[in-house]
């Protein structure tokens, strides 16, 4: 069985980083954007990181511009925005695609391990679904991720144990991370 440790990604400078470097840690892997309605998720993410990193928790941040062009900056501009506005200290990697033919293999695997189950119930969630469907139409069956700030929780053995859409309350994400630790 494949684990997250089988993947290599690029850091902000373009250097290869084997995810095996995070072996034994609980990971939250997130695709992000700086100009999204969910961008304020950076704040509770950083709070969790500061409070739990000593217990073996890491957040891996992958900026992506495939959702309404909400991360148009360079890797350095995105990093500067996140560190200045939200004080982020968790690792931020090179901007990637998470959908389509150019999707990063890590995100294709994550989404295959934990497929999309919907944004939730109610009018607000239905509107989000309609907007995401319109945006992701171009990716067809390779629309792995539906929107920015989709989060994947990885256990200490490198297996995907949960997927959280951006519409999931951050307290629920926190509780799941606590349980995995």
Give the pLDDT score at 121: 85
Q: Name residue, tokens 């891996």.
A: 60
CA dist 177 and 57 (Å) reads 8
Give the pLDDT score at 115: 95
pLDDT tens across the length of the chain (181 residues): 699 999 999 999 999 999 999 999 999 999 999 999 899 999 999 999 999 999 999 999 999 999 988 999 999 999 999 999 999 999 999 999 999 999 999 999 999 999 999 998 888 788 888 888 888 888 988 999 999 999 999 999 999 999 999 999 999 999 999 999 9
Count structural domains, the chain.
1
The pairing of beta strand 16-18 with beta strand 26-32: unpaired
Q: Where are the beta strands (DSSP E) in 56-148?
A: 57-63
Domain limits for position 71: 4-180
Q: Name residue, tokens 């859409």.
A: 165
> Could you tell me the CATH number of the domain that includes residue 26?
3.40.30.10
Tokens representing 103 are: 């999707």
Q: Which residues, 6 or more positions from 102, have their beta carbon under 8 angstroms from its beta carbon?
A: none
Q: Is 95 exposed, middle or buried (0-12, 13-18, 19+ CB in 10 A)?
A: buried
Which residues are identified as catalytic? Answer: 36
CA dist 59 and 48 (Å) reads 9
């Amino acid at each position: 069985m494949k684990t997250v440790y089988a993947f290599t990604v690029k850091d902000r400078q373009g250097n290869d980083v084997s995810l095996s470097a995070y072996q034994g840690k609980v990971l939250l892997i997130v695709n992000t954007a700086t100009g999204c309605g969910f961008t304020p998720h950076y704040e509770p993410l950083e709070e969790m990181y500061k409070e739990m990193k000593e217990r073996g928790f890491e957040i891996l941040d992958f900026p992506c511009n495939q959702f309404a062009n909400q991360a148009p900056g360079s890797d350095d501009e995105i990093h500067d925005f996140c560190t200045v506005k939200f004080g982020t200290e968790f690792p931020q990697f090179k901007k990637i695609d998470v959908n389509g033919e150019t999707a990063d293999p890590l995100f294709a695997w994550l989404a295959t391990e934990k497929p999309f189950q919907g944004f939730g119930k109610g009018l607000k969630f239905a509107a989000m679904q309609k907007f995401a469907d319109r945006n992701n139409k171009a990716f067809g069956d390779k629309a792995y991720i539906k929107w920015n700030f989709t989060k994947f929780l990885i256990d200490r053995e490198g297996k995907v144990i949960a997927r959280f859409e951006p519409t999931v309350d951050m307290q629920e994400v926190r509780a799941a991370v606590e349980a995995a630790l």
